């Protein structure tokens, strides 16, 4: 079998990984979105969407510059957690929402309890720069003509790049590739 780590080293791209933290932060999962006045809470089918996360773009950009995102403000993520639509069906339009709003003036701590209007208690997050690999479906990887054994090894390779982050409580579902 070929050494895939060496073979794919030039294919890695920087990414940003969200990491749970105890220190105060402008970015967080759950809690309140702290909507600015004049901004309505997103709704779908007549009910409020659940607030999932607030990402401070300034905090994230300090970990890794993501050129295709604004450099300031915050992104607020909302979703229908009751029906959990996939979003692939055109009838799902509106089941989720992302709002770009001004950032908070100061960071806050984690919360231990969930308020009545919250989906989950506030958990502060930070950001870490990580290395990512392209999907096996990309032409760049297909051209390697990986054997079945090498394909399995390639799938295990990216988690190895992130192993250090995993030991520190990082969230893998929140990886953002910063290049295409």
pLDDT digits (tens, 9 = 90+) for 78-122: 999 999 998 889 999 999 999 999 999 999 888 878 887 788 889
User: What are the structure tokens assigned to 113, written together?
Assistant: 């309890």
User: What are the structure tokens assigned to 177, written together?
Assistant: 């590739």
User: What are the tens digits of pLDDT across the range 12-57?
Assistant: 888 888 889 999 999 999 999 999 999 999 999 999 999 999 999 9
For residue 34, the model assigns a pLDDT of: 93
CA distance 161 to 158: 5
For residue 56, the model assigns a pLDDT of: 96
**Does the predicted model carry a pTM greater than 0.85?**
no
With bands split at pLDDT 50, 70 and 90, how would you rate the model's confidence at 161?
low
Res 127 pLDDT > 70? yes
Backbone φ and ψ of 9, nearest 5° = -55, -40
For residue 164, the model assigns a pLDDT of: 45
For residue 160, the model assigns a pLDDT of: 57
For residue 103, the model assigns a pLDDT of: 95
Displacement of CA 86 from its chain's centroid (Å) = 17
User: What are the structure tokens assigned to 21, written together?
Assistant: 């933290």
Q: Determine the average pLDDT of the residues in 3-10.
A: 87
């Amino acid at each position: 079998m070929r050494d895939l780590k060496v073979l794919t080293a030039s294919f890695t791209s920087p990414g940003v990984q969200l990491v749970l933290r105890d220190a105060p932060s402008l970015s967080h999962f759950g809690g309140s979105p702290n909507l600015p006045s004049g901004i309505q809470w997103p709704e779908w089918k007549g009910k409020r969407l659940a607030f999932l996360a607030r990402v401070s773009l300034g905090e994230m950009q300090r970990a890794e510059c993501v050129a295709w995102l604004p450099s300031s403000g915050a992104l607020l993520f909302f979703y229908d957690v009751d029906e959990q639509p996939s979003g692939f069906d055109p009838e799902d339009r509106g089941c989720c929402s992302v709002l770009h709003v001004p950032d908070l003036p100061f960071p806050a701590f984690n919360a231990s309890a969930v308020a009545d209007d919250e989906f989950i208690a506030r958990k502060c997050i930070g950001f870490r720069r990580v290395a990512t690999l392209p999907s096996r479906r990309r032409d760049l990887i297909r051209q390697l003509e990986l054997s079945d054994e090498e394909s399995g090894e390639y799938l295990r390779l990216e988690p190895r790049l992130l192993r250090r982050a995993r030991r520190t409580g990082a969230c893998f579902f929140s990886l953002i590739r910063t290049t295409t």
